[in-house]
Amino acid sequence: MDPIVHRSVLLGAVLAVTLAASPLFAASADDYYAEARAHLAKGEIKSAIIELKNALQADPTHVQARVALGTLHLRNADGAAAAKEFSRARELGALADLWMLGYARALVLQGEFRQLLEETSPDADLPDLQKAELLALRGNAHLALREVDAAVKEYDAALELQSGNAMARLGKAQVLLAANHEDEALEQLNEVLAEDPGHVESRLVRGDLLRRMQRLDDARVDYERAAKDAPNNPRAHIGLALVHIVQRDVDAAKRDLEVLDRITKGTLPALNYLRALVSFQEGDYGRASDELQSLLRVAPSNLQAQLLYGIVSYAREEYTLADDYLSRVLSSVPGNSQVIKLVGAARLKLKQPDRASEVLESVVSDETQDAQLLALLGTAYIQMGDNERGARLIERAVELDPDQALLRTQLAVGKIATGDTSEAISQLESAVALGQDVVQADVLLVLSYLNKREYEKAIAASQALEARMADSPIPQNLTGLAYLAQRQFDLAREHFNAALKKDPKFLVARMNLARVAMVEQKPDVADAAYDEVLRIDPKHLGAMLGKAQLARERGDQKGVQDWLLKANQANPAAIRPIMILAETYLRQNEGLKAVNMLSDLSPDQARLPPVLRLKGMAQLQSGDFVSAVLTLKELTDVAPSVEAWFQLARAYAAKGDSAAAREAFKQSVALDTAYKAPIALVGLGELELREREFQSALAVGETLQQRYPGLVYGYDVAAAAYRGLGQVEKSIDIARRALEIEYTAQRVDAFAKALAAAGNRSESQKVLRDWLGKHPDDGKVWATLGMVSQQAGQDREALKAYEESLRFAEPDAVLANNMAWLYLEHDRERAIELATKAYELAPSRAEIVDTYGWVLFRSGRKNDGLAALQQAMIIAPRNPEIALHVGEALIDMRRDAEARPVLERVARDNPDTDFAKSARALIAKLRG
């Protein structure tokens, strides 16, 4: 990281302060010092320096002159000279506020970070603003020494003294960037520039970050402002050139390079590199090669130049040179899949499939999702004569992405450079148009047709391939796949068997025979095919997974787990068995088992996005919300997506961090640029509703309606928001529109209840009867009709509806409870039967127990009834209706002394209610 240098102390201010001190030295030194100030006021820096040196020659102990001279050396970026003057001022006894900050800056210029930390003290007697600046400089020193925690501590201390300290905020932003926390870093930079729009360093860092985030227009604005404020700063023009290169605005990029050439007088190595990029985009590979050779002569180890030279050489069909330079890059960035791709392609061009497979195998595994890597390695295997492995990899490539597998990509230079060609590559996103002759393009073409369901074209291409590759099993297998896709099973089997005749160990074809049997619903035939594969290859992962799938379809859960465990033991490096087993546990609501299953993975496997997603969901299910947040946060760092941010939002919400959940939902929504995932907005809307932020929820609901007009989600969120705002009619209108979109029993039931709650019982009953006219066997809706009728005082209609409900469904506690009340005056036995049923279903619900007790009491079973009523009052001691029932029962049983305190409490705790009136009437009866 480059040292951060701020020169915010104006020389004029220093001179003014120092001149105010009592003159202790010879008049001649003071005269020279006064002349220096006069020159400085006119902007004559060189003359001022001469006069200050004259002053010090006249009087070497003149502190003010030394401090002023040190400040001017700082201004000229001469760290060594500045440090000498400030150090001498310190030795002469100058106060810390005169020399310490300048000395620290001088040491930063020289890269003497440890010396800075040892020789400056934030405990010195400095004004708060100077102390904040010193703390920020010390933070930069720790950061340069890779002492991150200490740096953050210094930055925080600086910000406590001066909340707007730009250097400290910039430092924290760089710490966050190093940890890949781009959004948080951007927030810090935004705050710096909001307070100090002219802070060039922050402007440049933010421009680099925005460019990295592909916000190119925003990055260009920052670079343009930095170029305006600091026209001679090369970084601003490098940034502009890179933005224009990525945007393929070659003319603008050339203008940027002309400015850069002028201000650096052609001495900046980055110029050659940037010119090479421009030439490459123009297709002028010769000019690009010349520029890169010029750069490599003075900087032979520059990785960026080596990489681009390798790519340019590949484009010029100089494959030996391409292999040489790309291999050099790979030795510096081992494991980089983009470079490995290029090396592998170059070696395939050189007809060296063994060397190509050697490098490609280092990054390809069962979990690889890069179609190009799979296609390249598959081609290498086929060229080496390993048809089985080659065909399997190429099939996987096409399943992932047929267009990528055909290697139709173009060179992308968006993040190839930061402008500092002396540093190693931090991000490589380069892929070259490798040419379809690199991979087994004819095989890929057939598979691509199959993927696009162009079966006739696939058959024609594969049959033509049979003639060209007469000894290979691959074309017969491809033809079989085409017929299988058309469900012509006999022809498919014929070609798969023909492939096996050419190569009995070509297990891909035997696995496809199992696929045919599975589609034909002949599990025993598929089982036999898998067994044959396992006889030839006892560790064959696909066959074991096939056996697990057969066990699942037979309902044999133990068999599923046994085969998955066998697959895991036979293929410990394979992640699929573990993933499938963890998913099985998750479906069975055994999240803890899923977490344990995923905990034994290697560190590399544990960082794979599918693993992080599954582990986070399992932690959520098992209630470990803190771990779920950490896991899913890592997922959003390594593979940000709509679902990743959505799952993280769920975890934050479960943990109780609503603010973080809200931001995560918003990130998920922002990534859904194609409007394919309404669930992200729905999650945000539900969060706002839970937080009672009804206006925000309403805005979310309206956005959902605009983006997904044919779905009900937006209407549901808006209806709930209006209800929360007390706007019941609007809520019902929105719900009515939702019912028109999705006419289901659940929605009819909910809408009818909402109407009834709003007092519109007649429309509620009509909505319910309309549904029942088409679905007369819907017991739940009959029950709702009974409830609404009962609320309207239509007891006879309510009972009819309730009885209809019982014809089609077992009663729930509420239904049985309501029916018991209605039957109490007409059929005591039926009332007791239903009240007892309700009590058995919900013995802990006070209102159910109250009904049970009241029915028993009114039916003559007074002791049993009173006991139940008292039980209900214990469950809900503040329920006035239950207390009235207890009081009335006690009075009826001539237990007035017990009834009085119960009734008095009802009257006291519920003044101005009907309950209080009833209680006072019963108390009066006691007095009578």
| pLDDT (mean) for 406-421 | 31
pLDDT digits (tens, 9 = 90+) for 293-346: 988 888 888 888 888 898 888 888 888 998 999 999 888 888 888 888 889 888
State residue 415's pLDDT score: 28
Contacts 24+ apart (CB under 8 A), 361-365: 362/335, 363/335, 363/337, 364/393, 365/573, 365/575
Per residue, the 3-state secondary structure of 60-93, as one string, reads CCCHHHHHHHHHHHHHCCCHHHHHHHHHHHHHCC
Cα–Cα distance measured from residue 315 to residue 283, given in angstroms and rounded to the nearest whole number: 9
CB 882 within 8 Å of CB 913? no
Is residue 598 pLDDT above 70, yes or no? yes
pLDDT digits (tens, 9 = 90+) for 872-889: 999 999 999 999 999 999
Is residue 235 pLDDT above 90, yes or no? no
State residue 258's pLDDT score: 87
Is residue 4 pLDDT above 60, yes or no? no
| pLDDT (mean) for 827-846 | 91
Is residue 556 pLDDT above 50, yes or no? yes
State residue 222's pLDDT score: 86
CB atoms within 10 A of CB 675: 12
pLDDT digits (tens, 9 = 90+) for 376-403: 888 888 878 787 788 778 777 766 655 5
Q: Which of 37-46, 101-110, 353-362, 838-847 has the lowest mean pLDDT?
A: 37-46
State residue 675's pLDDT score: 86
Is residue 904 pLDDT above 60, yes or no? yes
Closest CA to 338 of 297, 370, 316: 370
Ramachandran region, residue 871 (left: φ > 0; alpha: ψ -120 to 50; beta: rest): alpha
State residue 25's pLDDT score: 38
Is residue 927 pLDDT above 70, yes or no? no
Is residue 724 pLDDT above 90, yes or no? yes
Q: What is the mean pLDDT of the chain?
A: 84
Is residue 542 pLDDT above 70, yes or no? yes
| pLDDT (mean) for 844-851 | 93
Determine the Cα angle at 565 with ends 560 and 567, to 5°. Answer: 95
State residue 718's pLDDT score: 94
pLDDT digits (tens, 9 = 90+) for 161-187: 888 788 888 888 888 877 777 888 788
Per residue, the 3-state secondary structure of 912-923, as one string, reads CCHHHHHHHHHH
Predicted model pTM: 0.53
State residue 677's pLDDT score: 86
CB 782 within 8 Å of CB 802? yes
Model confidence band, residue 908 (pLDDT cutoffs 50, 70, 90): very high
Is residue 591 pLDDT above 60, yes or no? yes
DSSP 3: P
Percent of the chain whose predicted confidence (pLDDT) is above 70:
91
State residue 717's pLDDT score: 94
Cα–Cα distance measured from residue 221 to residue 209, given in angstroms and rounded to the nearest whole number: 13
| pLDDT (mean) for 573-577 | 83
Query: CA torsion 311→317→320→326, rounded to 10°?
Result: 10
Cα–Cα distance measured from residue 260 to residue 550, given in angstroms and rounded to the nearest whole number: 67
pLDDT digits (tens, 9 = 90+) for 264-297: 777 777 788 888 888 888 888 899 889 889 888 8
User: 576 CB contacts (<8 Å, ≥6 apart)?
Assistant: 366, 367, 541, 545, 567
Is residue 476 pLDDT above 50, yes or no? yes
pLDDT digits (tens, 9 = 90+) for 429-455: 222 233 334 345 566 667 767 767 888
Determine the Cα angle at 802 with ends 801 and 804, to 5°. Answer: 65
State residue 603's pLDDT score: 82
State residue 423's pLDDT score: 27
Is residue 697 pLDDT above 70, yes or no? yes
| pLDDT (mean) for 510-531 | 91
